[in-house]
Structure 1
Amino acid sequence: MNILWDFDGTLFDTYPVYTNIFSQVLGETVDKREIYGKLKISYSHAIHFYDISSEQEEEIKKLKKNISPEDMKPFNGVEGILNFANKNVIVTHKSREGVVGILKYYGWDKYFVDMVTIDDGFPRKPNPSAYKHLHEKYRIDLAIGDRELDLLPAKELGISTCIFQNQTDIADYQLQDYTEFFNTNIPERLNM
């Protein structure tokens, strides 16, 4: 089985760190649960929703540079799936340097044969170009993401989809915890 992964909120629980950064910039009067929800839709959605000024956005970028890999915790059970898959690839809006740094910190760079990052020049999700590029190279069986925009490109290409810690009607599968993966019919159905 070849799996395409989103990064933030799918492989690593990064939203709490980003929520804290936004809270720092916006002030304590803005509810952190609301910030988390807006970020879960998308980073750009949160920027627009809170009408973030260019100065505030620069402050967010500075604070993001101070995030260490140990602040980005992998989700429980992910490594078992990475190890199970024949090939794993990533499509993310993060920088390659950031992704590789976190993967190396956890010793997970060995699990990934390829990735498309914001640095590679592909249009942002939900445009399917990056997915198509990786699907043509690796024949992807499953795309896993935590947001609908992570699944839409896969659906367009006929790739099975799994939503993580979220709900959407377009997902073929839903997981709240990766430890459930091997108790579902996902591995059997996709290895047929």
Structure 2
Amino acid sequence: MNILWDFDGTLFDTYPGYSKVFSKVLGGKVSEEEIYKRLKISLSHATEYYNLTDSQVREMETLKNDLNPGDFKPFDKVEEILKYADKNVIMTHKDRDGVLAILKHHGWDKYFIDMVAIDDGFPRKPNSQAYSHLHNKYHIDLVIGDREIDILPGKELGITTCIFGTKSDIADYCLSDYAQFFEIIDRNDFNK
């Protein structure tokens, strides 16, 4: 089984760290829980919703870069799935160096054979070009993300999709936690 993973909110719980940064930029006037909800839609949505100035966006980028790779925790049971898969790839709007730093910190860089990051020049999700690129190279069997924007490109390409941490009418499978993953595998043939 070859899996294409989203990064933020799918492999690692990055949103709490980003919510803290956003709250600091907003002067503590908005709760981290409220910011978290906006960030789950997208960073650009949260930036527009809170009407951040250019100066605040720059401050946020600086503060995000100050976060430690250890500040981001992997979700429970993800490593078991990474070990199970034949090939794992990542498609993310995060920069390559940031992703690699987090993966290396947790010893997970060994699980991934390829990645498309924001600095690779592909259009942003939900455009399917990056997914198509990875699918053509690795014949992806499953796309996993935490937002519909992460799985829409997979749906467009006819790849089985799985959404993590939320419900979705468009996902083939919805997981509230990764312990459920192997139940899905047991019920389906992904040519492992």
Fold match (TM-score > 0.5): yes
The structure 1 segments of at least 4 consecutive aligned residues displaced by more than 4 Å after TM superposition are none
1:144 is matched with which residue?
A: 144
Deviation at 1:185, TM superposition (A): 4.1
Q: 2:16, 2:32 within 8 Å by CA — same for their partners in 1?
A: no
Deviation at 1:88, TM superposition (A): 0.3
User: Deviations along 1:26-66, whole A, 9 cap, x unmatched?
Assistant: 12221222110100000000000000000100110110111
Please, which moves more after superposition, 171-180 or 27-36? 27-36
Give the gaps of 5 or more residues in structure 1.
none
Secondary structure in structure 2 of the residue aligned to 1:29: coil
Structure 2 length-normalised TM: 0.97
Taking the aligned partners of 2:54 and 2:186, their CA distance within structure 1 comes to 44
1:86-97 matches, within 5 Å, as 86-97=86-97
Secondary structure in structure 2 of the residue aligned to 1:3: strand
Taking the aligned partners of 1:187 and 1:140, their CA distance within structure 2 comes to 19
Deviation at 1:182, TM superposition (A): 1.1
The two structures, once aligned, show a CA RMSD in angstroms of 1.2
Structure 1 length-normalised TM: 0.97
Give the gaps of 5 or more residues in structure 2.
none
2:126 is matched with which residue?
A: 126
Taking the aligned partners of 1:114 and 1:22, their CA distance within structure 2 comes to 30
Taking the aligned partners of 1:186 and 1:141, their CA distance within structure 2 comes to 15
1:10 is matched with which residue?
A: 10
Percent identity, aligned pairs only? 61
Q: 1:87, 1:113 within 8 Å by CA — same for their partners in 2?
A: yes
User: Deviations along 1:74-118, whole A, 9 cap, x unmatched?
Assistant: 000000000000000000011110111111111111110100001
Taking the aligned partners of 2:54 and 2:156, their CA distance within structure 1 comes to 34
Taking the aligned partners of 1:84 and 1:53, their CA distance within structure 2 comes to 44
Give the length in aligned residue pairs. Answer: 192
1:4-153 matches, within 5 Å, as 4-153=4-153
Please, which moves more after superposition, 19-28 or 36-45? 19-28
Q: Which amino acid aligns with 2:155?
A: K
Q: Which amino acid aligns with 2:75?
A: F
Deviation at 1:189, TM superposition (A): 3.0
Deviation at 1:190, TM superposition (A): 2.1
Taking the aligned partners of 1:135 and 1:125, their CA distance within structure 2 comes to 15
